[in-house]
Structure 1
Amino acid sequence: MVKWGLSATILAPTQDILRFAAHHIELGAHRLYIYLDDDNQDAFNHLKKHPKVRVQTCDATYWKQQGGRPVKHQVRQTKNATHAYNRRPEVDWLIHMDADEFLVPDQSVSERLVALDTKQQHARVRPMEVLGGSDNAFKAYLPPGSNRAKIVRATYPTFGAYVKGGFLSHVAGKLFVRTGLPDIQVRIHNAFQSGQMLANAVELPEIELAHCHAKSWEAWRATYAYRLEKGSYRADLKPAMTPEKGGMTLHEMFKHLEATEGEDGLRAFYDEVIGDSPDMRARLQAHGLLREVDLNLDALMAKHFPNGAV
């Protein structure tokens, strides 16, 4: 059977790290290459004991060996993902993920990968985004097409023009890359070979990527300022709709919302686009976009890291 694994650069509480690891070990990951973005000795000790995990603390010594610590976390992710890919292969396929992302297959991940053509170099999984305040409800990925904009506007009548595919975070998903290819650089959503982006990735609709981007109003508000300046709402990202058609980037939209409506405006955005409610579920259900998945993370953490629970 084909072996697969993942790499992740993580700055998170220990239990979140262990939940992420346990979920993917349960799915059959043969190897997890986890790079701790700070000196989390507690997480390191738990992970180090598991035979499926290779854990690295990204301290000053590590970054000196890598030519220096990048300031931007996105660049650190890229360098670590590439480092994991270029080490001695222990898996046939490798995917780079974040700690708030969880693969959700409708069959074995290995079975889906082994079914790919032997010449296929990479395969893409698309995200579904959690509804804030829910443990099990997600909005599904809406593929590009003539109806996407219409559906998004109907589902999010006030803010739909500013959220690509109805998602607050990425719609690009993440990429499985076959190991053993020369001169590969792994980036957050794509991979490059000899400086050229790998094209024509096959889609894996049987595997969804549950993205827990905003677990609650409090969690979203706590990360909002960072994401606005340095993360997924930063100024250099493209808008969902071109400015000629009235579009704004998320960064511009949020800045405008803050200036005109303040905290009430941000809460209104959260309630319409992110937060779980009967109305939100009904809007998603009307277009076949509601997914309900029990990740069962605490139970899996207790199973694979029995000493990690509080």
Structure 2
Amino acid sequence: MIRWGLVATVKAPAREVLAFAAWHLDLGAHRLYIHLDAPDAELLAGLKAHPKIRATLTGPGYWAKQGGRRPEKHQVRQTVNATRVLARRPEVDWLAHIDVDEFLLPDAPVAETLATLPDAVLCARLRPVEALAPAAGIAPPDWALKAVTLDRATRRAQTERLFPAYARGLDGGFLSHVAGKLFVRTSLVGAEFRIHNVLRDGEQNPGHTELRAIALCHMHATDADRWLAHYRFRHARGSYRPDLKPARPAEDGGMTLHQMLAAIEAEAGEAGLRAFFDTVCTARPALLSALEAEGLLRRATLDLDAARARHFPG
């Protein structure tokens, strides 16, 4: 039987970390390698108590063993941690590097899907769907999700139809990545994780395929207040940071998400940002109908509270 696992670097409330772990344990993960990016002794103990979880506190002593000081950028910390696990030949056949707000949504058991991949496939891409903030009678654990079209020209046209006021700075209406994440065979010796890719001997994503039977549900912006609470960090150093390229070239009228959000805030302040969130990230009836017409509406049930209670009672 194929064994699979996940590696993640997390800095989130214990409730969210345990929900992340529990959901994937329910899906059949053989190992979860969880690195705590901030001290939390109680959470560390709770994770370590589970036989399928390998939890690590990444304090000063940890980083000294990795050969230096703690990297300033969280993206670098994530890839160092993920690569370390991959290099150890983890106790799984396939390993994916994802974030604490990302959840696998498989059409069939994950192990069965991975078992169907030919030997020549060395990495398999999970494409994202973004969860929409509940509205219009939709309430957790039921979620409406927006998907993304892979063809760039089609995606651009859909963005203009769905979000005309913000199309210059959006890619498919997503606030976060459209690239997805990777499952990698742990037999790929010498491979190094990046956030969305894997490298080996200078080659990016050797033996790559699309893993269409498993979506990656990204709970990136599921509440306006929480989104605003994370906004400053994301705008400065995270998924809206200034060095990311625009989906549409500047000479063709495009702008980065960083630029667009800065312009919205400069013109209309928090009210403008909230209006943007409502238009792009909320499960409004009009948006749901428009997404369905484009073939981009997905629905899923993620009962994270129930999963957490099963694996971490009390």
Q: CA deviation at 1:146?
A: 3.4
Match of 1:93 in 2: 94
Match of 2:51 in 1: 51
The letter of the residue matching 2:77 is R
Describe the SS at the equivalent of 2:216.
Answer: strand
Match of 2:85 in 1: 84
Structure 2 unaligned blocks of 5 or more: none
Superimposed CA distance per residue, residues 150-201 of structure 1 (whole angstroms, 9 cap, x where no aligned partner): 1111111111231112211000110000002221111111000023312452
Match of 1:271 in 2: 278
Query: Given that residues 89 and 180 in structure 1 are in contact (C-alpha distance below 8 angstroms), is that contact kept between their aligned partners in structure 2?
Result: no
The letter of the residue matching 2:29 is A
Q: CA deviation at 1:145?
A: 4.2
Per mean C-alpha deviation after superposition, the further-off stretch among 54-63 and 84-93 is: 84-93
Per mean C-alpha deviation after superposition, the further-off stretch among 295-304 and 262-271 is: 262-271
Structure 1 unaligned blocks of 5 or more: none
Task: State the Cα RMSD in Å.
Answer: 1.2
Closer, same or farther: CA 27–124 of 1 in aligned 2, 3 Å: same
Q: CA deviation at 1:36?
A: 0.4
* Aligned positions of 1:1-310 closer than 5 A: 1-67=1-67, 68-133=69-134, 135=140, 136-199=143-206, 201-307=208-314
Per mean C-alpha deviation after superposition, the further-off stretch among 55-64 and 266-275 is: 266-275
The letter of the residue matching 1:4 is W
Describe the SS at the equivalent of 1:165.
Answer: coil
CA distance in 1, matches of 2:191, 2:260: 36
Query: Given that residues 143 and 165 in structure 1 are in contact (C-alpha distance below 8 angstroms), is that contact kept between their aligned partners in structure 2?
Result: no
Superimposed CA distance per residue, residues 230-284 of structure 1 (whole angstroms, 9 cap, x where no aligned partner): 0000000010100011000011111111122222221221111112221221121
Per mean C-alpha deviation after superposition, the further-off stretch among 143-152 and 82-91 is: 143-152
Superimposed CA distance per residue, residues 192-223 of structure 1 (whole angstroms, 9 cap, x where no aligned partner): 00233124521011100000001200011000
Superimposed CA distance per residue, residues 121-150 of structure 1 (whole angstroms, 9 cap, x where no aligned partner): 100010000102353111112222432211
Per mean C-alpha deviation after superposition, the further-off stretch among 94-103 and 280-289 is: 280-289
Describe the SS at the equivalent of 1:147.
Answer: helix
- With normalisation by structure 1, the TM-score equals 0.96
CA distance in 1, matches of 2:63, 2:272: 41
Q: CA deviation at 1:38?
A: 0.8
Per mean C-alpha deviation after superposition, the further-off stretch among 196-205 and 185-194 is: 196-205
Identity %: 49
Query: Given that residues 24 and 103 in structure 2 are in contact (C-alpha distance below 8 angstroms), is that contact kept between their aligned partners in structure 1?
Result: yes
CA distance in 2, matches of 1:40, 1:279: 43
CA distance in 2, matches of 1:148, 1:237: 18
Superimposed CA distance per residue, residues 84-118 of structure 1 (whole angstroms, 9 cap, x where no aligned partner): 11113300000000000000000011111110011
Query: Given that residues 89 and 186 in structure 2 are in contact (C-alpha distance below 8 angstroms), is that contact kept between their aligned partners in structure 1?
Result: no
Query: Given that residues 122 and 206 in structure 2 are in contact (C-alpha distance below 8 angstroms), is that contact kept between their aligned partners in structure 1?
Result: no
- With normalisation by structure 2, the TM-score equals 0.95
The letter of the residue matching 2:51 is P
The letter of the residue matching 2:309 is A
Aligned residues: 307
CA distance in 2, matches of 1:223, 1:105: 28
TM superposition outliers: structure 1 runs of 4+ over 6 Å: none
Describe the SS at the equivalent of 1:203.
Answer: strand
